[in-house]
Amino acid sequence: MFIGIDHGTTGMRFASGKKRFKLTREEATGFSVTNLDRICTIDEIEGIALSYSMGDNFAKITRIEKVKNRGIVNREGAGKHIGGGTKVFDEIKKSGIPTIVIPGLHRGSPTDPRFKVYSHQSSPEKIGIAYEVCHDLGDDVVVSDTSSNTVTLLVAAGRLVGAFDACIFAPGTRHGALDVDAIRRIDEGKCTANEAFQQAGVEYTVPDEDNLRIRTVAMFSAMECAALLLLNPRAKIALAGSIAPLIAPEVESLLGTDVAVYDEWCASSGLGRLAHDVFSGAGDILGLEVDR
């Protein structure tokens, strides 16, 4: 059996086929490898695909024992730091279960060089989302993951072309890009840049009336999809994440096309599928090389 582990903003999701469970990141600080018994016995696990934080100091899918500093440049930067993901990473590594770590998309990744105007394009769990969607829809997709963050990726001819990360374009419910007001508050010493990022989502910036928050996320998610369609007009469109079902009707209306909808388990399910394929001999995943 193969397990995918999604290190999300609010929780850790573990999945293998239809068997799955979730821990809040606070609960994950007490993680033990025996927690995986909720899916299967430890002896039944053939391989794990793990995502952790930004995944920004390596660019190939890599065995966990070969990854340095858990695959990140450092723990500073955008996002909430609790310790649950770190605990899961360290316990999985200590267990000796065959495990691969998935990189994020960044300047060292084999994406279109024009996207490298930004240092970071996507965190690793989004690779699992893209892999799951491509399994269903084919090799040309745009997929927008909408929850606390909104991150949208493009795959063309089975290869990752690039992505818009949460701090660049579309807001999620909690996080978003830093606008002029946020820059002023940072310069005035009222908050850090990371604090501003964590308060730039629609829950903090848009009134909670007339479904305006959901409609706002839908509009910006659709705009990201439309932007990426410029590079691959034949791509099919998918939404994933906890609020995907809520925004889907408006995204479809704005884009004038049908949209496939996936839920919050898309990343962990895709990572489980990815683990199966890598441990079965796949040499690359969506253009990302496997380092054996």
Please say whether the beta carbons of 43 and 35 come within 8 A. no
How far, in Å, are 143, 145, 251, 286 from residue 262 at the CA level? Answer: 10, 9, 14, 19
Contacts of 181 (CB under 8 A, 6+ apart): none
Structural domains in the chain, sorted by start: 2-171+209-291 (3.30.420.40)
CA distance 214 to 244: 10
pLDDT in tens, the chain (292 residues): 999 999 988 889 999 998 999 999 899 999 999 999 999 999 999 999 999 999 999 999 999 999 999 999 876 655 566 788 999 999 999 999 999 999 999 999 999 999 999 999 999 999 999 999 999 999 999 999 999 999 999 999 999 999 999 999 999 999 999 999 999 999 999 999 999 999 999 999 999 999 999 999 999 999 999 999 999 999 999 999 999 999 999 999 999 999 999 999 999 999 999 999 999 999 999 999 999 7
Residue with tokens 């490898």: 33
Please report which residue ranges of the chain form alpha helices under DSSP H. 84-95, 125-137, 180-187, 193-197, 202-205, 212-229, 244-255, 266-279
pLDDT at residue 288, as a whole number = 98
pLDDT at residue 81, as a whole number = 64
236-240 and 260-261 beta bridge pairing: parallel
